[in-house]
Every structure is written in structure tokens, then in C-alpha cells.
Chains A and B, each alone.
Chain A
Amino acid sequence: MNVATEPGAVPLLEARGLTVRFGKVTALNGLDLTAPPGQVLAILGPNGAGKTTFVRTVATLVRPTGGSLLVNGRDVVRDPAGVRRDIGLAGQFAAVEPTMTGRENLEMTARLFGHGRTAAERAAAAVIEQLSLGEVADRRSSGYSGGQRRRLDLGASLVGGPRLLLLDEPTTGLDPVSRREVWDAVRGLAAHGTDILLTTHYLDEADELADQVVVIDHGSVVASGPLSELKASIGQDVIEVAVTEPALVGAVGQILERVTLTAARHEPGGRHVSAPAPGGPAELASVIGLLEGAAIAVDEIGLRRPTLDEVFLTLTGEARDDNSNNSDNAAAAAGPAMNGSTR
């Protein structure tokens, strides 16, 4: 990332040629990244891009094979214990003890951060308040809803007063309501000044939460910068048309390209055609007009957010080679009404 850092300020994260290999698999491939403090940074990428490995490396759970990584100025290899005092990790699974109450879980983690009994009780109470867990705090967490459990897990990573909060796919597997709960919690923490590194494969999640976005694929950075800058290229809405017969795809594609001045795409043999629409709704209206004029019948037409695949196409100029198109990406594309409704 090329974000100007205040002179003298220690970057929150500084990765130089960071490489992690597991046997023959290269999870991180010479990743370079500098993140200034005081922000929410989202690592965006498809499954298998290296997001989780990066978070685990920051959390000192994985040792780099090559390159260097400094967290708040501390080297993860030379001073892992120092790094651990600065971070709080909430992984992909809610790592709370189901047979213990929320409060017991928080107090235990606080003690493991190094707090004494009184300080641990105070920290637990503060987190319960902050994450609105008061009603369920003294119930066993086995009875919590998905969102409550995830918020408790989030809370457990906070009780040591970390400088950097690591959230690995914080809303994966949550229903839409729980997803909102977690988003609100994360936003609240950010507003209080907690620095956050989160990974996600939902574009809209990065959109909701992050100040800075780093897109990674195949273990290295594909694009990075403030979201507002990236949005111009990756956040462009897409007009998608479903025609009644595959034979009509060509004609519709031509109309889309004429209006949007961008390249139209369609799956071979499919009935869907799409094209990025820099002009948004106005271009949609023109397309509808032209389709009517040409008497082309369509099943569906609409404006939607780009899928992660389309983002990658835009950023890298080539389709992702693994073709592991999954439902998660589809969810990210489905627009606000369907956010997170997979699973």
C-alpha cells in the first residue's frame, strides 16, 4: 500500500516480501504491505488467496518462510511475545467455551492477557457493556445465537486492550441479522479508536467497514488503497440482463457495450450478459429503451454490485484461473437485500 504515513508514526503493519510456504503450497508469495495506524484495514480476496494465512502470521501462529513482518514495530519472528501483547485475535471459529458463561469466558481471557482478578472483572464488564451482551452475559454461551457468540468472541479479543484487533472473516456463516450485529459492533470499536485488520470475501463487508482495502490473490497484493479510490475501478455497478434465449446474448451484448462503453461478458451457452456501467441508473434506462426498440424480450434486467470475480477481472485483467466460483461470491454480488443469505 502506498499510503502516506505520518512522519515518525510506527506503521501498524509492515510486510516486506512476506512469504509463507506449507510444504509445496505457497500461501503468501512475497507480500508487501504498509498500513498506518488509526484505521480499519480490510484484506479482500477469494478463498485460498492467503487472507487467513496473513492474519495467522500477524497473530504469530504461523512463522514466515521468508521476508519480514513488523506489527506495531515489533518483528513477529524476533519478538512474538511482544506482538501477542499488542494484538487480539478473533478467528474464523468463535473460540469461546460453550459450557462457560459469557462473563466467565471474558474474565478467563482477560486473566490470560495478564490482568489481575479485579482488572479482569472490570475489563469483562466493560466489554459486555460495549458489545451489548448484558442480557446474556451470565448465561452459558452454548445457548447464544450465532451473532451473540461471534460478538462474545470479538469481546474476548478485546479484554487485553489490544492495539490491533484481528478479525478473520468475522461474519462468515452468520445470518443477515447477526451479520448486522457484528458490523455494528466492529463499527463501534473503530469509532472508539481500535485499529482493526479484517479479512473478508464479501465486497459489501469491506464497503461497510473499511477505510483502506488491500486486495490479495495468490498470496500477493493485487490492488490497495483507500476504498474511495478503489471504488472508482472496482466498485462500479454492473448491468446484468437475463435473456429468454441464449441466441439473443450477442445482440444484447452489443447494446450494453454501445451504452456503457465497457466490455460485455457472458458465460458460454448462458442466458446472462453483463457489463460494468460507469453511468449507473441512467445507462440502465438507456439499455431498457434500446432493448424495447429492438423488440428483444428479457427475463430480468437490473443494476447490481460487481462480484468479486468481476473485481478481479478489472484489477488483474484476467479471469481467476482456479474457477472455484462459489456461493460466497454470488452472495457478495446479490445486492443489499440478499447480503449474507448464503448458508
Chain B
Amino acid sequence: MTVTEALANPAIGRPARAPGVVPAARQVALRALRKYIRTPSLCIMAIVQSALFLFSFRYVFGGAIQVGPGLSYVDFLVPSYVATIVLFTGGGIAVAVAEDKTQGFTDRLLSLPVPRYALVLGRTLADSTTNVWSILTTAAFGFLFGFRLPGSWLDGLAAFGLCVLYAVVFTVVFIVMGLFAANAQAAQGMSLIAFVFAFLSSAYVPATSMPGWLQPFSKYQPITPMVDAVRSLLTGSASDVGLALAWSVLLILVFTPVAVFRYRRA
């Protein structure tokens, strides 16, 4: 085509075509996972943090919270705590995404012939994986602190599956937060919004114990049906599961395009 067709270094070929979505997403995901695994403060602290919170709820606040006759607080708490743990640890995702943006890594990725949605897909795959790790370790701590499955282990597995779905949903939401944050600190601050939804839900206290004016918010925001669905799956029922799935799909359908669009112009 031009004189520049001659390559600078004959050992470095020019790829015949741009990478496909899956191979590109895989590289993006591998890098994020390597960073997570090789940074002890990320993978260890997430576990310590989730264990500490669970310990505090279970043994500090738990004694003062009445969850109804015939149900111990630990059995009320652990399923919803596992379902919402990503809301506490997911701030790290927003921070990592914001750091990539401010430190030039996102610019590098965007200057490469990579499909834009591969960036979101790769990031989501990696962070969902680390979140499943959080859920697993948190569930293990739940059992350690006295939680027992009320139904069969198959029911337990179904409930765990739903928690994994939530992990993916929350991951996409935190990615969007990171993309909109100006820097890592802002991303950290923004991720506190998740705390509001976590605390103003039926996750840690029965929604009926909240003042009347707060109950509508608690009832109609997504986290309440999502945790209620996990609790009902554990007991072999399926109430709220439809609503929880609907919320999950809606959140993914809304936030994924926003993430792709925002990456495009990061």
C-alpha cells in the first residue's frame, strides 16, 4: 500500500484481522484476574472484610434484632448476607475501573482494535469470578458462625446459583460507577450508594421493623425481593424468585449498554 508497508521488525507480524470478542474478552479478564490474585490486599482483604461484617451482624447486632418466632437471627441473616456481600466488596470493582481510566490502561485498550463490548464482557467475567469467590468464602463463614441449611442441599445449591446471578448483576452496576467516577476516590465514594440499598432492605432486619415511611422504599427496591427470593429457595419455595429474576434481567439490560457506551468514550 505505502512504503510503510515494510515492517519495522520482521519478527513482529501484523495480525490478519482484529481479535474476536471472545479472545479479546478473555485477555481483558485474565489481566483483571491476575491483578486480583497477585495483589494480596485485594483478595485477602475482601475475605477479611466480609467475615468481619458477618461477625458483627451475627454476634454484635444480632442479639438485639428480633426476626420473628421460631427463626434464629443467624438463619435469617446468612442467606441474605451472602446474597448482598457483593454490594460491600464490589466497591473494589468501581475503583479498579476508575484507576484503569486515570492511569492510561483504558486508553491503551481503546487504541487497540478490540470490540468495545469485549472490554465490558472481559471485565464482567473477571469481576464476577472474584465475586463468586467472595460469595463462596462468605457462605463458608456463615456455616462457621452457626448457619444451617433449612432444606435440602439441592435447595441450597439453587439459592447459591441465584446469588451468583446477583454477583454478575452487581458487577455490571459497579463497572458503570467506575466508568462515571472521575478517579478512584470518587469511585469509592460512589460505591457507598450500594450500602443504602443493602441496609434499606430486608437483608439484615425484617422490613416490617422499619418506620412506616421507610417501608415503601424497602419494599419496592430490588434488593428486598432479591434476598427474599434466596430465603424462599432455601426452604424449597419459589416466592419472589420471579420478581428477583425480573429485577436482575432489568438491571443487566439497563447497565450493560451504559457500560459499553461509556467505555467507548472513556
Contact = CB atoms under 8 A, between A and B. Distances in A.
Interface of A: 6, 9-10, 12, 37-38, 56, 59-61, 72-73, 81, 84-85, 87-89, 91-95, 97, 99-100, 104, 108-109, 111-115, 119, 122-123, 125-127, 129-130, 140, 156-161, 163-164, 166, 189, 192-195
A60 B111 contact: yes
B8 A113 contact: no
Contacts of A112: 19, 24, 27-28, 109, 112, 114
30 contacts: A10-B2, A59-B110, A60-B111, A61-B107, A81-B18, A85-B18, A94-B104, A95-B103, A95-B107, A99-B35, A100-B35, A104-B34, A109-B108, A112-B24, A112-B28, A112-B109, A112-B114, A114-B19, A122-B12, A126-B9, A126-B11, A126-B12, A127-B12, A130-B9, A157-B108, A159-B12, A161-B9, A166-B111, A193-B7, A194-B8
Nearest to B110: A61
Interface in B69-124: 103-105, 107-114
A115 B19 CA distance: 7
Contact of A91 (B3, B34, B108): B108
B19 A111 contact: yes
Contacts of B12: 122-123, 126-127, 158-161
A129 B19 CA distance: 25
Contact of B113 (A84, A108, A119, A193): A84
Interface string B181-195: 000000000000000
Interface in B6-22: 6-9, 11-19
Contact of B8 (A81, A89, A95, A193): A193
A25 to B, nearest CB: 17
Contacts of A72: 1-2, 4
A94 to B, nearest CB: 7
A306 to B, nearest CB: 32
Given A9-B3, A92-B104, A108-B30, 18 more contacts: A59-B110, A61-B111, A81-B113, A94-B104, A97-B34, A99-B39, A112-B19, A112-B112, A112-B114, A113-B19, A114-B17, A114-B19, A122-B11, A123-B13, A127-B9, A127-B12, A158-B8, A161-B13
A313 B138 CA distance: 66
Contact of A97 (B6, B105, B111): B105
B91 to A, nearest CB: 20
B44 to A, nearest CB: 14
Nearest to A113: B15
B131 to A, nearest CB: 19
Nearest to A58: B111
Contact of B108 (A119, A140, A156): A156
Contacts of B18: 81, 84-85, 114
Contacts of A109: 108, 112
Sorting the interface of chain B by its residue count into under 10, 10 to 19, 20 to 34 or 35 or more gives 35 or more
Given A91-B104, A97-B105, A108 B3 contact: no
A200 B17 CA distance: 32
B8 A97 contact: no
Contact of A37 (B4, B30, B104, B108): B4
Contacts of A95: 103-105, 107-108
B15 A100 contact: no
A99 B34 contact: yes
Contacts of A114: 15-19, 113
Contacts of B11: 122-123, 125-126, 129
Contacts of B6: 193
Contact of B111 (A6, A87, A104): A87
Contacts of A92: 104
Nearest to A37: B4
Nearest to A56: B107
B180 to A, nearest CB: 17
A125 B143 CA distance: 49
Contacts of A193: 4, 6-8
B31 interface: yes
Contacts of A85: 14-15, 18, 113
B23 interface: yes
B114 to A, nearest CB: 5
Contacts of B38: 99-100, 140
A223 to B, nearest CB: 25
Contacts of B2: 9-10, 37, 72-73, 163
A115 B13 contact: yes
**Residue in B2, B23, B105 with the greatest tally of chain A CB atoms within 10 Å:** B2
A122 B11 CA distance: 7
A87 B18 CA distance: 13
